[in-house]
Amino acid sequence: MKTVACVIQDGFAPFEFGVACEAFGLDRSDDGVPNFDFRIVAPEPGVVRSKIGFSVNVEHDLTFADEADLVVFCPVPRSTWGRIDERLTDLARAAVDRGAWVMSVCSGSFILAAAGVLDGRRATTHWMYAHTMAEMYPRIDIDPDVLFVQDDRIITSAGTAAGIDACLHLLRQELGAEITNRIARRMVVPPQRDGGQAQFIDRPIPVAPSDSLAAVADWAVENLREELSVDHLAGRALMSPRTFARRFKAEYGATPAAWLARQRIIHAQRLLERTDLPLEHIAGECGFGSAAVLRQNFARVLGVTPTAYRARFSCADDAVPAA
């Protein structure tokens, strides 16, 4: 992925637009991150007004997006959902047909829905709009409980900050975990959030994890090679297993087992990128027990084998040799 087109129109949402600019448009070459040819495009170049009144001057029409490796559709005003600009739906269909990455942030998914490229696919949007989309487009399998959905090379994200999660998910596939972690650190966000937007529906935003749970989670990440049962973790937190599991899911958005499985995969990604350790050794370090179990879990989560992942993302110049 080398070229990225960010599509906006009158009434665009500034935060979601900024997410795309932050993820794909900044020069981070000093951190060893490849730069993208990133351009903002619009159906009508010139002054494009945001939903809160200020404007940006867009230099490019949609021509650049016709050949871009990634086309990002920013949110569109509710008033346009029933009459999406045909130039945008044509662009979305053409991008999908030629195998480009296509991403929508928040209500940008209504462009993809209107284009028909989500028919028969699983997708998401902001939880507030999911019911409306389901009524307008019954052929789409809408999941209102997740932060983002990838179906083939189409990624739809939930509202606002979930766009960051979707962008990092895509960057992880294109650049690997190590470089994506650098980008996340620069953005001051976690490389991977667990849970989904269900935790935000008609509820206050959860408070930060309690000190006791945070300490246990930090300890678990440093000891992934161990057999980390809920009973063991609950004991460290001085809680009953049932109370620990309930509070952990409430504060982290995932069960302890699901969260640990994800941490083990992330650690395996780092070791595959940064070392030449054999798979059996990596499996032990990550708590998978054997290379076979590592392969099974890795392929299930990432859709690629550990060997293929290493071949693509190995940081050869920085690799740490096996002892």
How remote is the C-alpha of 137 from its chain's centroid?
Answer: 24
- Same domain membership, residue 230 and residue 141: no
- 226 shares its domain with 267: yes
Query: Is residue 197 domain-resident?
Result: no
- CATH number for position 170: 3.40.50.880
- 205 in a domain, yes or no? no
294 shares a domain with 172: no
Low-confidence ranges of the chain (pLDDT < 50): 198-208, 316, 319-323
pLDDT in tens, 223-247: 999 999 999 999 999 999 999 999 8
> Is residue 235 one of the residues assigned to a domain?
yes
Same domain for 170 and 137: yes
Please count the CA atoms within 13 angstroms of the CA of 94 that sit on its side-chain side: 15
**Residue 201, in any domain of the structure:** no
H/E segment holding residue 166:
helix 162-175
pTM for this prediction? 0.72
Q: Are residues 94 and 236 in the same domain?
A: no
Residue-level pLDDT at 184: 87
Q: For the segment 273-317, what is each residue's pLDDT rounded down to a tens digit?
A: 889 999 999 999 999 999 999 999 998 888 889 998 888 877 745
CATH of the domain at 258: 1.10.10.60
Same domain, 268 and 170: no
Cα four-point dihedral sign 293, 295, 298, 301:
negative
- Residue 203 in domain: no
* Domain span at 161: 3-187
Q: Are residues 55 and 134 in the same domain?
A: yes
Tell me the Cα Rg of the chain.
21
When divided into structural domains, the chain yields a total of 2
Helix (H, G, I), strand (E, B) or coil at 206: coil
Say if residue 242 is in the same domain as residue 176.
no
Q: Are residues 65 and 126 in the same domain?
A: yes
* Confidence at residue 251, expressed as pLDDT on a 0 to 100 scale: 80
